[in-house]
Chain A
Amino acid sequence: MDYNKLDDETLIRLVTHSKSEALSELYDRFSRMVFGLALRSVHDQNLAEEITQDVFMRIWDRAGTYHAEQGKVATWVASITRNRAIDILRYQRSRPEGSSLSLEELPFFDPPDSQSIEGEVELNSQKQLVRRSLSLLPKEQRDALALAFFKGYTQQEVAEALGEPLGTVKTRIRLGMQKLRQILEEEPL
């Protein structure tokens, strides 16, 4: 069977029947997204590799829990990745020796036309649209959203990381999300 011609949902169904070739094909399709998201969240190559392995093991173990009506396979895989990364980050922060975020580790959303030097193959139009939408937000809103999205910070933690009042951060996150929704609903993916 030529697995690379099958759609994502069919591959997931085959994984439920323990077809390792289907998992191999899913890895080829999604490992760059998974590794990129993990790396952007945890800022640690080894940890990002562990998360990537974890995510594909979960796909293997839990493909039966995927339901197409809940969203695309890519979104499901991405949400598993983000949840796993945030679980690890929150666990690290809960420990007494948990480190605070340095300025170099501040996560960010990339501008729309940047060519990644980290190995990204190509940017399709959907990605460009989301990045363009993000670029229309004031930097303060974008940074607050990035901390909540990548690091799993609460609004209080975002406020502490950025040295801003809690009320200001709440407003930035709310306005940022509202603005993104407005832009993306006008120009749906």
Chain B
Amino acid sequence: MLSENHLLELIPGYALDCLSEQDMLLVSEHLSQCSSCRVELDSYLRIVNDLYLAVPEVAPPPDLKQKVLGNIPEKRARAAAKQPVSAWLRLRSLLRTAAPVWAYASMVLIVILAAGNLWFLQRLNRLEATTSSDFRVVTLAGTDMAPDASGMLVMSHDGNLGTLVVDGLQTLDQAHQYQLWLIHDGSRDSGGVFSVSKEGYGALTVAAEQPLNIYSALGITVEPRGGSPGPTGEKVMGGSL
């Protein structure tokens, strides 16, 4: 039952992340337009945070700390040992191996269409001649969590328009979505949330608070449906702007 067009009765379940996919979407869309329901959500998110306090603490095995601290240099060494492979080479390598040719042809088509959309939007917005050199393509690579993933951010040179296209990401369950983060001076701004098809393709029109060309890097994490205020989940892709 809904109260005066608000979704007050769904918000407790939304905060607890236990609604059906349909209700999650309904609430997400409503929250983007309703400040009073966002206030309501904040109050329930505080309750969820309080629930952590109700969980009994349990001492982990004594040797676990050494395992944790021992993994740090290992991770560093692994990162240092990685050769800086260009994203294009990585994409070409993927083209030769994992997925069927039609899948990558589709991805190229999506990128072309995205660039085309931006091109026409710019023509409309600026009413001046535009060439393909007005676009910049930034490649993204999958992390260890998504080694087969690849993607591109097609953006206008003034940074006001951008479209993200990704491929090779796992389909998430109904309670989660991918979230794009734009990184500038150590802070992360959300660029929007998106889901991927069963084939692993996804696209997003980037909604940033500032022009995209002020950002130095971007990343994609797995977050609860509708997105998080800051990254909390697994980083699956990243790239430099």
Number of A-B contacts defined by CB within 8 Å: 172
Complex contact B16–A78 (CB within 8 A): no
Complex contact B50–A184 (CB within 8 A): yes
Q: Please, which residue of chain B has its CB at the minimum distance from the CB of A41?
A: B55
**A71 in contact (CB, < 8 A):** yes
Complex contact A181–B57 (CB within 8 A): no
Complex contact B52–A87 (CB within 8 A): no
**B175 in contact (CB, < 8 A):** yes
Instruction: Return B141 CB to nearest CB of chain A, in Å.
Output: 16
Q: Please, which residue of chain B has its CB at the minimum distance from the CB of A109?
A: B54
8 Å CB contact of B175 from A49, A152, A180: A152
**A105 in contact (CB, < 8 A):** no
**A154 in contact (CB, < 8 A):** yes
A121 to B175, CA, bound (A): 35
A180 to B188, CA, bound (A): 32
Please indicate which of the listed interface residues B44, B53, B64, B69 has the most CB atoms of chain A within 10 Å of its own CB: B53
A52 to B145, CA, bound (A): 17
Chain A residues with CB under 8 Å of B57's CB are 32-33, 35-36, 116, 119-121
Given contacts A20-B69, A71-B49, A181-B43, contact A154 B18 (CB under 8 A): yes
Size class of the B contact interface (CB-based, 8 Å) = 35 or more
**A79 in contact (CB, < 8 A):** yes
Given contacts A65-B231, A126-B53, A174-B9, contact A53 B68 (CB under 8 A): yes
**A3 in contact (CB, < 8 A):** no
Given contacts A109-B54, A118-B56, contact A52 B48 (CB under 8 A): no
A130 to B64, CA, bound (A): 29
Given contacts A57-B68, A83-B233, contact A52 B60 (CB under 8 A): yes
A31 to B57, CA, bound (A): 8
A149 to B61, CA, bound (A): 25
Chain B residues with CB under 8 Å of A78's CB are 49, 52
**B121 in contact (CB, < 8 A):** no
Complex contact A155–B13 (CB within 8 A): yes
Complex contact B49–A75 (CB within 8 A): yes
Complex contact A33–B72 (CB within 8 A): no
Complex contact B12–A79 (CB within 8 A): no
Residues of B that sit less than 8 Å from A by CB: 9, 12-13, 15-20, 43-44, 46-61, 64-65, 67-69, 71-72, 75, 173-176, 186-188, 222, 224, 229-235
